[in-house]
Amino acid sequence: MSSNPPGVRQTIVQLLSHMRDGKEIREYLHRFSGIDQERFAVIKVGGAVIQDDLEGLAAALAFLQTVGLTPVVVHGGGPQLDTALEAAGIETERVDGLRVTRDAAIPIIRDTLTQANLTLVDAIRNAGGRAAAVPRGVFEARIVDEARLGRVGEPSRIHLDLVGSAARAGQAAILACLGETADGKLVNINADVAVRALVHALQPYKVVFLTGTGGLLDEDGDILSSINLATDFAGLMEAEWVNGGMRLKLEEIKRLLDDLPLSSSVSITRPAELARELFTHAGAGTLIRRGERIVEADSKDSLDLARLDALVTKAFGRPAIAGYWDALTVDRAFVTESYRAAAITTRLDGWVYLDKFAVLDDARGEGLGRTVWQRLVDYAPRLIWRSRTSNPVNGFYFEECDGAVRRDDWTVFWRGDMGPTEVAGVVETAFALPPTLEAPQ
């Protein structure tokens, strides 16, 4: 078998096409490689994804192993179960969104989820990956309400022996949502509930939901790139366009993240975009974090300039030139409470000019950079900025801009509804600005 079959090769090419110089993937790999492999990521896969995009799903999971990362995968099997139960003449019942599981359905649920588990494991192996089938043995559960829901369980204890053994062997553990009571009675567990219990036990660095939509959608049907629960949750819960399903999903994710370290996150994306979501600053899907508050200021008087200076020096690897902060006239600044990410704008020929966008590496991984960027572009839909042509963040800038001009050491970007003729003058002004950081070594 080829170590890189077509599906995996396609995924690798897609990822590398977004790596301007490889720095981003090296940065994320370095961060992820320092984590125990069973704690790298829990990936939840809906049954519909297995049914509709098995090849893409398997290629994406196999790709992670080609770069030395071994996730734990939890899958459901909703469509498969509906089909199998209908074929057996058993009506599908739901109460408050939970599948009612009568005794007669248990053998069918067991066989159907086991088959879905083996199907996914075989597909990963065919894509060049290594996977271990773990349909049972992880979730010890108690029956929630047998009279009302039948054999539906809620995890009471997580057994991680099989997960750890698979990870040490370099295999992705593929878990079905089947549980057993302490006395050995098989029960069905809702996939979201199973994921929350597993995440609580593992405390993974990343939690990923793979869906067909590729993320949570805003009122226009576009994917929300990031959600900072500290600043966005209350507003989303009150928004008329947030439907009941999305509201429940956000509440579930908030409960999940409340049990995790601040550095943890939940990503919602589609299989084909998994690599971009994990390994690029721009991502590809919805990144949800507990987050932190963004401080907004219209002058430097209310900012801690010493902390800003330290942020800029560390983010760019060199300090601001002497006198930079004294001469700076702030138009608007967006700074995280921790001073690990900031965007500072000034005015240039009447335009909003992004003078500094500084994000520490770990803050990028936490999505703080994306959150600050979103606040920036909400404030300034017409924006111009300059970056050294060698800057590895330019890949992100090219995705975000509406136009750019490269000239020797500098590239000037802009975004907003205007053409090159309209911005020609300010582009020249931006090129002529003196450097604000010490020269690169």
Q: State pLDDT tens for residues 229-280.
A: 888 888 899 888 888 778 878 888 888 888 787 777 888 999 988 877 777 6
Is residue 159 very low, low, confident or very high in pLDDT (cuts 50, 70, 90)?
Answer: very high
Of all residues in the chain, the percent with pLDDT exceeding 70 is 89
Is residue 32 very low, low, confident or very high in pLDDT (cuts 50, 70, 90)?
Answer: low
Average pLDDT, stretch 196-221?
88
8 pLDDT more than 50: no
Q: Which of 360, 205, 367 is closest to 286 using CA atoms?
A: 367
Average pLDDT, stretch 336-355?
94
Q: Taking all residues of the chain, what is their mean pLDDT, rounded to a whole number?
A: 86
> Between residues 16 and 256, which one has the greater pLDDT?
256
Whether residue 291 contacts residue 34, with contact meaning beta carbons closer than 8 Å, is answered with: no
45 pLDDT more than 80: yes
Is residue 281 very low, low, confident or very high in pLDDT (cuts 50, 70, 90)?
Answer: low
Whether residue 364 contacts residue 277, with contact meaning beta carbons closer than 8 Å, is answered with: no
**Best-predicted range by mean pLDDT among 164-173, 255-264, 414-423?**
164-173
> Between residues 51 and 36, which one has the greater pLDDT?
51
Axis-axis angle for helices 191-202, 244-258 (nearest 10): 20
User: What residues contact 89, with CB distance under 8 A and at least 6 apart?
Assistant: none
> How confident is the model at residue 24, as a pLDDT?
59
141 pLDDT more than 80: yes
38 pLDDT more than 70: no
Residue that is written with structure tokens 């593992």 in the block:
202
> How confident is the model at residue 228, as a pLDDT?
81
Q: Which of 332, 241, 338 is closest to 289 using CA atoms?
A: 338
What is the CA 274 to chain-centroid distance, rounded? 8
Q: Is 91 exposed, middle or buried (0-12, 13-18, 19+ CB in 10 A)?
A: exposed
Tell me the C-alpha distance between 394 and 375, whole Å. Answer: 19
Kind plus residue range of the DSSP H or E element containing 375? helix 368-379
Helix, strand or coil for residue 16? helix
